[in-house]
Structure 1
């Protein structure tokens, strides 16, 4: 086969691949992303917030929300994340009041609603969320987070858990996560985009 013919065949193949990729990016990929994002937070869990209100799938609707899973005996990730949330609120100023913030326990055996209320009380507007273990497990599944009890040598235990703050728009659809340690500027940029929707 002549070199020119081989080049023509190669270019034609590249064009077909490029068109296929374009069609995927424009049609199929957004549908897959949308269906994945729509599933986060959806479920039949029924928990209670530190203000005495129910926390259900409906709690994510009507106003943008940030949801974080953790526990009060957490040595580092949870207090650091609460500190991050406090600094985000300070930076956002009055706009921060447009964001519901929920701290959902992964350790309901130790974290009652009252204990969570004390734990989150230093960060304005953060609602602790607890309930029976079976309802917490439903929420963990609905939000697709990881949580596992880890025994300690002294007979006590700690919890391994996901460390991202999940952002939801006012329709209850996953907007974007903020990863643990992601950085102040990136977190603020995401929050401003969320609050502008």
Structure 2
């Protein structure tokens, strides 16, 4: 009797897991199609400050594909996970590959170039942290159709709600598609190789 109940529980758990994977895949596919439909409108000229204090523009990235991801250094979970996944995909590509990823902060009040530099030391060196004043942050977020909002917390602290899409841009800085990080690094790297 106990073995039968255990088997039924295992079947239910497996069915639930398969369902979750299916829902995640459909959600990403739907989101990707939605974004791709307006691809000519995503991205554009920008000028931000990198973690080394230098100006980084869309023109300075021409000739290599790059990923764009919006987040902030105080992000408790999603941002470091995405940066880790990007780093793992880049490692699979090899360190000689000309590719970049932009980590654009949505919290410029706390994320100075120095803070970004310290934070990004834990990830692939081809990830470039970008910050700017409020106007430049709003402008680049608008260009990439990114939502972000400050959410007040306790004792004057706050978090940021923000879009969690990773954008893939080609060597000319044109939007290709939303980039799926929810897969093994080798698969992600294989897709990136198409644009090198």
Question: Shorter-normalised TM-score: what interval?
Answer: 0.7 to 0.9
What is the DSSP-based 3-state SS (H/G/I as helix, E as strand, rest coil) of the residue aligned with 1:107? coil
CA distance in 2, matches of 1:71, 1:155: 17
What is the DSSP-based 3-state SS (H/G/I as helix, E as strand, rest coil) of the residue aligned with 1:110? coil
Q: Give the match for residue 107 of structure 2.
A: 107
What is the DSSP-based 3-state SS (H/G/I as helix, E as strand, rest coil) of the residue aligned with 1:73? coil
Q: Deviations over 1:44-95 (max 9, x none)?
A: x421111333223324422111111110000001111111112112211145
Which 4+ residue blocks in structure 1 deviate beyond 3 angstroms? 179-186
The gaps in structure 2 that reach 5 residues or longer are 1-34
Q: Give the match for residue 141 of structure 1.
A: 142
CA distance in 2, matches of 1:73, 1:115: 10
Pair 1:128–1:121, CA change in 2 (3 A)? same
Q: Give the match for residue 118 of structure 1.
A: 118
What TM-score does the superposition give when structure 1 sets the normalisation length? 0.73
CA distance in 2, matches of 1:94, 1:118: 21
Pair 1:162–1:186, CA change in 2 (3 A)? farther
Q: Give the match for residue 162 of structure 2.
A: 161
The gaps in structure 1 that reach 5 residues or longer are 1-32
Q: Deviations over 1:128-153 (max 9, x none)?
A: 10011111010100111121111113
Q: Which of these residues, 23, 42, 45, is aligned with residue 44 of structure 2?
A: 42
Q: Give yes or no for contact 1:60–1:168 (8 Å, CA) kept in 2.
A: no
Pair 1:34–1:70, CA change in 2 (3 A)? closer
Q: Give the match for residue 75 of structure 1.
A: 76
CA distance in 2, matches of 1:34, 1:164: 12
The root-mean-square deviation of aligned C-alpha atoms, in Å, is: 2.2
CA distance in 1, matches of 2:113, 2:77: 21
Q: Deviations over 1:11-44 (max 9, x none)?
A: xxxxxxxxxxxxxxxxxxxxxx98832322214x
Aligned residues: 161
CA distance in 2, matches of 1:53, 1:117: 12
